[in-house]
Amino acid sequence: MFYLAISSSQPDFKPESLTPRFMLWRPGIWLLDLGPVWAYWCHQAGSHDLHDLHDLHDLNGLHGFLRQAISALAGQGVVAVLDANPWRALLGMEVMCERGLNGFVSAQNALGRNLVNEASWDIWFRLADEVAAHWFGTRRERFNLQVFRRQARQMALGMERLGIRKPADLGGIPALAIRRRYGAPLHDLWLWSHEAPSAPGALGAPRIDDGSPAGFPWVLWRQEQAIQVKRHLDSPLLEWEHMEIVLREDVDRLCALLNKQGAGRILSLEWRVVFLDLSCLVIPIRFRHPHDLPAEFPHYRTALLQACYAFEDAIPAAMGAAVDLGVYEKAIGSWDLMVTEKINLPPVMRDLFGSVRAANEAEATDDAEGVAKYRLQQLENRLSVPLSAYEVTANWIPEEGYKNVQKNMQPNVEPYTRPSLRALGLRRPLFVYPKPRSSPQPTNQSRAWVFCERIMDKWWRSGSASGQESTQRDYYMMRDQEQRAVWVFKDGAGKWYVHGMYN
Amino acid sequence: MEQFKVPYLYMVTRFTSQIPENMADILDQHGVRPASSLGGVAPDAIQFGSGNVALDEFLEGGLATGAVSEWGMPAGQSLREIALAVVGGATRREMMVLWVNGQDGLDVYPPAWSARGVDLRFIRFVTANKPLEVLKPVFLEPVFRLMVLDSPKHLGSEEWAFIARQARAMDIHVMVLHNFLLSGSRGNIWARLRINGKQRANGWRLEAMRGKAHKCLELTSDILFGLPSLDM
């Protein structure tokens, strides 16, 4: 659930308070990508949840938090819909506007899903025309606006003749049939309207290199002038130890510029270095959680650590290219350091939600949990590798039995399922292979076997029912040649796999 | 965070355990003691217990903060269940734990951890073969009170010294788990506890190579979590 469509009549509404990635869909309508700050807002909602919403599970806590934040920023008359897919978020928002509803709705709830499914053809084609205008503006390949409009008229006529009242009723038609009859752009829109949020290849899932959703006409809004400092080095530098001192001064200059704009959190910086041969290298410096850069005066340890990791990753490749070009000296002569992604925290949010604060503020209020969370976020920002936190889900398929809570905010497991899940978990090993490894059929069956469980795949999902995938697995504990206890299974086709190890 | 007030000095020698008694007394007058003599837990140290009386007694009340323990746990013998009992105890006390997984090709399977009493809200996982290279900031801040380095690749004496120093300075406990049995002929002065685990017919046998007193413990697999027997 990463995209938020907001309709606000408030002229001073600032989407950058919620995320650095947003676009103006049309005057008064904003589309926000909450992906880069999702974990941050989950953390904030979690600490808020501890104080006021402890009876509700995490997802409701986050939704409640977003509801209050959006109301505070965009006024009470705001219409906002959250969905994993920007197209469906826009559809839901249009339905709410048409019915005169306002407030915040998430498509993860039944109400939100029903709203999207209730979209009429009028809304669908109106939004399709707006998407087409954006595609035209962003120069989508092999896209002709006139052809698109003609095909859309044909499709509208076809739906009327077939008596299909709304787009949700068209779900059973194969995607290829739409593509063949009405062209690729309408096929894409049809697909986005009906895809499951978690489906492979869903609009909410894949992202191209610049972070925008694949295929969607995303035009990133750049409102402010870039906050940027430039450095011309007196003598060329190559070693990180030498550069660190100078870069620290530049981060300090950057903070002075940032402070003029009030409270903010940085998500990414761009370090554009220029070598003596005038070639450039752009080194992105990213933070896992929105980072309070000025708070680390004067050492700026977090930012410099991330810069060091990015530098060490990027420079060997650049050096390799330099050797290919025959350039032996590849020293850095100058650079630019600029803020590329940040969120602004207006005073109104800090007042409403005490959870948006630094550790020293939490310490002052004796909030040990708040301090621990803040320190953990700070630490994660300083590491070159991510730390993973998991949550168990009510699912018997081993690969789907857990989720990474940094990326997903799923409802907690219902209490009545816990005994079953515990019984399942006790028979399973602590360590598994990411993908089961094919194994020859065990020859020596005299080695003792312990039958663990038989599970069935979700045969009703596409593929399984048609026999393309095996639907049954029999799991055993057994000893391998080296006398190690391994977790193996035999699938419905009689093939053997090693899935885990009892270490 | 309170840190140790006592200025401990360690004998950096391979033969600390073989110091003659009279020599040890003289050195003790100058505040120089071998690491193995630091069995006493600082008054403000936290001890990570497993909840199992026999195991906790074997661990001298639990794994104390400010120290390092080294475990020999060959693969495929379910010996990490024992480490998990300690980790589960720490998470139930709402203390943050970091598990650094260095096992080749294997990922953790969280539902099995949760079933064994680990509160997943208080544990973080990271995959790293060389933890000191990629996780140095973790050792510089006391965010995680218990850290488990599972199957790290070749820890040299410098790395061991750094881990022991940071464990003491940050008041954390670091468990280092190896996929092989520890050797008695080659010691490790930086670890307060050195324990080998072996699988037995219906459970495990723990042998302390280093600790307050060398001793053994037999554990049955159903004692810890009510686990099914792996005896096949």
Residue B96 touches chain A, beta carbons under 8 Å: yes
E strand or H helix that includes residue A251: helix A240-259
- Average pLDDT (B131-151) is 93
Q: Is there a single domain that holds both residue A89 and residue A194? A: yes
| The predicted structure's pLDDT at residue A366 | 58
Q: Is there a single domain that holds both residue A242 and residue A181? A: no
Q: Is there a single domain that holds both residue A142 and residue A172? A: yes
Tally the domains of chain B. 1
Within a domain: residue B141?
yes
Q: In chain B, what residues touch A502 (CB-CB under 8 Å)?
A: 76-78, 230
Most confident of A311-325, A440-454, B93-107: B93-107
Q: In chain B, what residues touch A479 (CB-CB under 8 Å)?
A: 76, 232
Confidence of residue A14 (pLDDT cuts 50, 70, 90): confident
- Residue B228: closest C-alpha in chain A: A427
pLDDT over threshold 60, residue B27? no
Contact flag B80-A430 (C-beta cutoff 8 Å): yes
Please name which of B134, B207, B142, B200 lies closest in space to residue B169, comparing C-alpha atoms.
Answer: B142
The whole model's pTM is what? Answer: 0.78
Q: In chain B, what residues touch A427 (CB-CB under 8 Å)?
A: 228
- Average pLDDT (B44-55) is 84
- Average pLDDT (A461-467) is 51
Within a domain: residue A98?
yes
Q: Is there a single domain that holds both residue A307 and residue A282? A: yes
* Nearest chain A CA: its distance from B95 CA (Å): 10
Contact flag B125-A390 (C-beta cutoff 8 Å): yes
Contact flag A432-B230 (C-beta cutoff 8 Å): no
Catalogue the E-assigned strands of A415-458: 431-439, 449-456
Q: Give the closest of B76, B111, B134 to A385, CB-based.
A: B134
Confidence of residue A133 (pLDDT cuts 50, 70, 90): very high
Contact flag B109-A423 (C-beta cutoff 8 Å): no
Within a domain: residue B231?
no
Tens-place pLDDT, residues B148-195: 999 998 888 999 999 999 999 999 999 999 999 998 887 888 999 999
Most confident of A64-68, A300-304, B206-210: A300-304
- Average pLDDT (B62-84) is 93
| The predicted structure's pLDDT at residue B152 | 94
Mean of pLDDT over chain B: 81
Contact flag B76-A401 (C-beta cutoff 8 Å): no
| The predicted structure's pLDDT at residue A67 | 84
Q: Which of A352-361, A408-417, B56-65 has the lowest mean pLDDT?
A: A352-361
Within a domain: residue A219?
no
Within a domain: residue B128?
yes
Give the angle A198-A204-A210 at the CA atoms, nearest 5°.
140
Within a domain: residue A362?
yes
Q: Is there a single domain that holds both residue A240 and residue A188? A: no
Distance in angstroms (rounded) separating the CA atoms of residues B53 and A369: 30
Please name which of A270, A261, A371, A341 lies closest in space to residue A18, comparing C-alpha atoms.
Answer: A341
Contact flag B110-A479 (C-beta cutoff 8 Å): no
Tally the domains of chain A. 3
Residue B103 touches chain A, beta carbons under 8 Å: yes
Question: Which amino acid appears at position A319 of this protein?
Answer: M
Within a domain: residue A211?
no
Within a domain: residue A387?
no
Residue B170 belongs to what domain range?
A: 2-224
Of A343, A364, A382, the residue at which a domain comes to its end is A382
Give the angle A443-A444-A449 at the CA atoms, nearest 5°.
110
| The predicted structure's pLDDT at residue B214 | 66
Most confident of A80-84, B60-64, B99-103: B99-103
Contact flag A503-B80 (C-beta cutoff 8 Å): yes
DSSP state of A37: G
* Nearest chain A CA: its distance from B109 CA (Å): 5
| The predicted structure's pLDDT at residue A415 | 77
A76 versus A398: the higher-pLDDT residue is A398
Q: Which of A252-261, A488-497, B1-10, B162-171 has the lowest mean pLDDT?
A: B1-10
Within a domain: residue A461?
yes
Q: Is there a single domain that holds both residue A188 and residue A54? A: yes
Contact flag A431-B110 (C-beta cutoff 8 Å): no
Within a domain: residue B230?
no
CATH number at residue B161: 3.40.50.300
- Average pLDDT (A307-312) is 91
| The predicted structure's pLDDT at residue A461 | 66
Contact flag B138-A379 (C-beta cutoff 8 Å): yes
Count the alpha carbons within 13 Å of A255 in the hemisphere toward its beta carbon.
Answer: 17
Q: Which of A188-197, A227-236, B222-231 has the lowest mean pLDDT?
A: B222-231
Q: Is there a single domain that holds both residue A236 and residue A258? A: yes
Contact flag A398-B109 (C-beta cutoff 8 Å): yes
Distance in angstroms (rounded) separating the CA atoms of residues B139 and B170: 8
Tens-place pLDDT, residues A167-197: 888 777 777 888 999 999 999 998 888 876 5
Q: Which of A118-132, A259-273, A294-308, B112-126 has the lowest mean pLDDT?
A: A259-273
| The predicted structure's pLDDT at residue A31 | 93
Q: Is there a single domain that holds both residue A63 and residue A181? A: yes
Within a domain: residue A431?
yes
Distance in angstroms (rounded) separating the CA atoms of residues A18 and B88: 37
Q: Is there a single domain that holds both residue A375 and residue A432? A: no
Q: Give the closest of B77, B110, B225 to A402, CB-based.
A: B110
| The predicted structure's pLDDT at residue A202 | 47
| The predicted structure's pLDDT at residue B221 | 72
Within a domain: residue B232?
no
- Average pLDDT (B1-15) is 41
Phi, psi of B110 (to 5 degrees): -55, -35
Please name which of B170, B108, B161, B107 lies closest in space to residue B138, comparing C-alpha atoms.
Answer: B170
Residue A81 belongs to what domain range?
A: 3-204
- Average pLDDT (B99-111) is 94
pLDDT over threshold 80, residue A36? yes
Q: Mutate which of A387, A435, A437 to disrupt the B interface (most B C-beta within 10 Å)?
A: A387
Confidence of residue A450 (pLDDT cuts 50, 70, 90): confident
CATH number at residue A358: 3.30.1490.100
- Residue B128: closest C-alpha in chain A: A385
Q: Give the closest of B79, B80, B96 to A376, CB-based.
A: B96
Work out the percent of chain A whose per-residue pLDDT is above 90.
32
Contact flag B135-A383 (C-beta cutoff 8 Å): yes
pLDDT over threshold 80, residue A56? no
* Nearest chain A CA: its distance from B62 CA (Å): 22
Q: Is there a single domain that holds both residue A241 and residue A263? A: yes
* Nearest chain B CA: its distance from A336 CA (Å): 27
Confidence of residue A214 (pLDDT cuts 50, 70, 90): confident
Cα B13 vs. chain centroid, distance in angstroms?
21
Burial status of residue A301 (CB atoms within 10 A of its CB: 0-12, 13-18, 19 or more): middle
Within a domain: residue B229?
no
- Average pLDDT (A88-106) is 91
Q: Is there a single domain that holds both residue A39 and residue A175? A: yes
Tens-place pLDDT, residues A102-116: 888 988 788 888 888
Within a domain: residue A120?
yes
Mean of pLDDT over chain A: 81
Q: Is there a single domain that holds both residue A28 and residue A46? A: yes
- Residue pair A83/A195 in contact by the 8 Å Cβ criterion: no
| The predicted structure's pLDDT at residue B17 | 44
| The predicted structure's pLDDT at residue A272 | 94
| The predicted structure's pLDDT at residue A321 | 59
